[in-house]
Structure 1
């Protein structure tokens, strides 16, 4: 399938400046394709706000093209490429060099939109090992949400072989962002019970509509961790998908059962806060497990699960979809916390 190869690419870069003013939009010449690279016409994607805001704890390349997630169509392939052909629909893996197995520190140097140029551009060249075929029953818009949030939630619930979520288990999710919504869907798909938290009463019905068994407004219940434990009969939840960080970690410890797992996904509430002490962790005797998104193999596993269960596992897309030149508006909307599910940018 022959597709036209462009000479120019439109892209965003993170340059000097503060906050979203650091974003710069320009037209550039398309670099030459490497022998093991795949040129992808990026159709849709989701942005990474921490990098744009300069708050990432990981290494960021100078003048980097941001964007951790993306999906598109293969336009051309290098002479050594064997996994894809022009016309294939693909989704990017977050860590381009993390194929499978335990996470290695070296993988951090292959993160899209941070160490490597990301997906906020009309065309991008990626190593063939850093791409996965899109599930046949998803649109490119839906598939663009899987790279980071989808894989992170999948890794949290199914990444530890001895602690995989199953029917009857209890899962605690936080908020209505991408990772939390995916985790809620994945947990319900296998028959688990889910308690979700939110800061907005307006989002309670949204979460219940996705299958949440209980929803707690944490702004109205400061001791929501104890409430969660009471809802489980005083035992506690098997898994916590912790997205807020230090500001909620103490409550997560109160909510988790002995030998349960707190999966630390991020720090949306900020990197500082009322940090639990060593004795707090010892008292609750749980596993505290930071998540480094996940490997390409986990992304492939997730794609197979979605293909087998399209209605239960279909990604939830926020009603507002932006165009590439509206990146700053999209970032501001995401930062405001009004979104429900994934906020996407349409590139084509």
Structure 2
């Protein structure tokens, strides 16, 4: 669990102390943690695969299931090929959703297609990619956007979200501040915004049960030894990964 004290219910400030931020992280061979910080792992996953779940997997789950209330037949937009976006794609497909995926890499777009993405958009070729989403959806827009880009993508996300649709705001990869906040478009389209930072233990248990039943396996493109942790971070900074990067300990 990223928030070992947040067991159930809505978030509260005193429950949101988390590992890697205001607590020491996991870049170590041994660590002592409270019982509430762990849950069982899905039977169909090994330890390396299960390690991707408390942050990326659980964030995607909360975005689409807890907050989004995703239903079969709805349309989901995922941005890029990081851990949350790829997991959201896999999750959405098992719910019977149509998925539109974006990337600047044709190679990575091909990988997204192999995971079930129904429509692909190269956002370098189409900087105003929201217009492409509207074309795909017959000018209706998508039900859900998994928004990880921040300043560089938010306006396009609002553009392509349908009336009364949902944007799960998860990341700020292209910057934390939006210079032109398009408030009229947000409230006139009655868009619902959800700020997402992982979830509680109850959600993680529900997600694990779902993963077991649907046999979803996280995408791990690269593995590094603990001694090469710096190289792993650089690999991520250089955007060479697809899905998750794992660290081998011992």
Report what 2:27 is aligned to: 120
**In 2, Cα distance between the equivalents of 1:245 and 1:209?**
26
Query: Which structure has the bigger radius of gyration?
Result: 1
**What are the superposed Cα offsets for residues 225-245 of structure 1, whole Å, 9 maximum, x if unpaired?**
121122111111010000011
1:145 aligns with 2:47: no
Match of 2:101 among 193, 196, 210: 196
**In 2, Cα distance between the equivalents of 1:285 and 1:304?**
33
Match of 1:315 among 211, 215, 218: 218
| 1:276 shift after superposition | 2.1
Report if the CA contact (8 A) 1:174-1:241 is conserved: yes
Structure 1: unaligned runs, 5 residues or longer: 1-92
Match of 1:250 among 136, 147, 155: 155
| 1:187 shift after superposition | 0.3
1:129 aligns with 2:129: no
**What are the superposed Cα offsets for residues 52-103 of structure 1, whole Å, 9 maximum, x if unpaired?**
xxxxxxxxxxxxxxxxxxxxxxxxxxxxxxxxxxxxxxxxx01111111111
Match of 2:6 among 98, 111, 115: 98
Report if the CA contact (8 A) 2:155-2:182 is conserved: no
Give the 5 Å matches for 1:275-290: 275-290=180-195
**In 2, Cα distance between the equivalents of 1:176 and 1:232?**
22
**In 2, Cα distance between the equivalents of 1:274 and 1:184?**
29
| 1:129 shift after superposition | 0.9
How many residue pairs end up in the alignment? 250
Structure with more helix by fraction:
2
Partner SS, residue 157 of structure 2: helix
Which structure has more relative contact order (CA 8 Å, sep 6+)? It is 2
TM-score w.r.t. the length of structure 1 is: 0.70
Report what 1:43 is aligned to: none
**What are the superposed Cα offsets for residues 295-315 of structure 1, whole Å, 9 maximum, x if unpaired?**
1111111111111121xx111
| 1:175 shift after superposition | 0.5
Structure with more strand by fraction:
1
| 1:131 shift after superposition | 0.7
TM-score w.r.t. the length of structure 2 is: 0.97
When the two chains are superposed, the root-mean-square deviation of aligned CA atoms in Å is: 1.1
1:346 aligns with 2:244: no
| Moved segments of 4+, more than 4 Å | none
**In 1, Cα distance between the equivalents of 2:204 and 2:27?**
20
**What are the superposed Cα offsets for residues 17-57 of structure 1, whole Å, 9 maximum, x if unpaired?**
xxxxxxxxxxxxxxxxxxxxxxxxxxxxxxxxxxxxxxxxx
1:158 aligns with 2:65: yes
1:331 aligns with 2:236: no
**In 1, Cα distance between the equivalents of 2:23 and 2:112?**
35
